[in-house]
Amino acid sequence: MKIAIIGYGKMGKIIDEISQSRGHEVVARLKETPTTENLNNADVAIEFSNPEVAFENIKTCLENKIPVICGTTGWLDKKPEIERLALENNTPFLYGSNFSLGVNLFFALNENLAKLMSNINEYSVQLEEIHHIHKKDAPSGTAISIAEGIIENSKYEAWKLDETRDKELGIFAIREDEVPGTHSVFYRSEVDEIEIKHTAFNRNGFALGAVIAAEWIVDKKGIFSMKDVLGL
């Protein structure tokens, strides 16, 4: 498979190594806006750039009929427009706030726990995410996905930064040193607390998941998530 890597920073470089180790050819390594020329007839694009440029980058790929795997977080207000473009161009698109297997299992675990607790109504929920000091968005895309999964299955109606209050599920966003990504969910009652925590030791799990998603999407049509790739 010919892969274009859009965004060649911390993630792009690991995606490059893993792509090659799995037998793919990396035909573009971009730190700038993609164009028809520099995309170099790629079969699929893997986009890990930054919140300001992700929309334009994905749009260009879709207009060139190149399937896109996007891991960039912090641009989701424009996701409906991208999904419309993907369908219009008959080109598949997959966004994942977190491509690691562990976090996708963690999503399912929290959705199920929230569902079980919704009948009991004794527990309040609080989210916490910790990331490195270079991160541009807060809360993390992963924390937003966890919150959305809990909201769908509980009394909560929306999420907000800071402490949980009434029907608003709170997310504490902490920036510390070079932390790759730690997410905790606290379910607290008057008498006890359940804490569920995922800790990424490094970025390899994110990068491997993105390459697996690219291998999976290349002959598909539609809008997908990691749930489709992993059959969850």
Ligand X SMILES: O=C(O)C1=N[C@H](C(=O)O)C[C@H](O)C1
Ligand Y SMILES: NC(=O)C1=CN([C@@H]2O[C@H](COP(=O)(O)OP(=O)(O)OC[C@H]3O[C@@H](n4cnc5c(N)ncnc54)[C@H](OP(=O)(O)O)[C@@H]3O)[C@@H](O)[C@H]2O)C=CC1
Judged by the rule CB under 6 A, the positions of this chain that interact with ligand Y are 6-12, 30-33, 48-50, 53, 57, 71-74, 96-99, 203, 206
Choice among 135, 136, 160, 197 that is catalytic? 135
Smallest gap, in angstroms, from Cβ of residue 185 to ligand X? 14
Choice among 131, 197, 198, 220 that is catalytic? 131
List the single partner that 131 binds among ligand X, ligand Y, none, CB under 5 to 8 Å by kind.
ligand X
Smallest gap, in angstroms, from Cβ of residue 111 to ligand X? 17
**Spatial distance between the Cα atoms of 2 and 89, rounded to a whole number of angstroms:** 20
Q: Is 131 a catalytic residue?
A: yes
User: Where do contacts with ligand X occur on this chain (CB under 6 A)?
Assistant: 73, 97-98, 131, 135, 140-142, 181
Asked if residue 28 lies in contact with residue 40, where contact means CB atoms within 8 angstroms, the answer is yes
Is 149 annotated as ligand-binding?
no
Is 182 annotated as ligand-binding?
no
**Spatial distance between the Cα atoms of 121 and 189, rounded to a whole number of angstroms:** 9
Is 9 annotated as ligand-binding?
no
Smallest gap, in angstroms, from Cβ of residue 27 to ligand X? 25
Q: Bridge-partner residues for 130, per DSSP?
A: 174, 182
In angstroms, the Cα distances linking 214 to 24, 78, 137, 204 are 11, 22, 24, 15
53 vs 218, which CB is nearer to ligand Y?
A: 53
Is 72 annotated as ligand-binding?
yes
Q: Is 183 a catalytic residue?
A: no
Which residue in 81, 32, 73, 83 sits closest to 50, CA to CA? 73
183 vs 203, which CB is nearer to ligand Y?
A: 203
180 vs 222, which CB is nearer to ligand X?
A: 180
91 vs 142, which CB is nearer to ligand X?
A: 142
Smallest gap, in angstroms, from Cβ of residue 38 to ligand Y? 10
Is 7 annotated as ligand-binding?
no
Q: Residues marked as binding?
A: 31, 71-73, 96-99, 132, 141-142
Task: Report the catalytic residues.
Answer: 131, 135
Q: Residues marked as binding for NAD(+)?
A: 71-73, 96-99
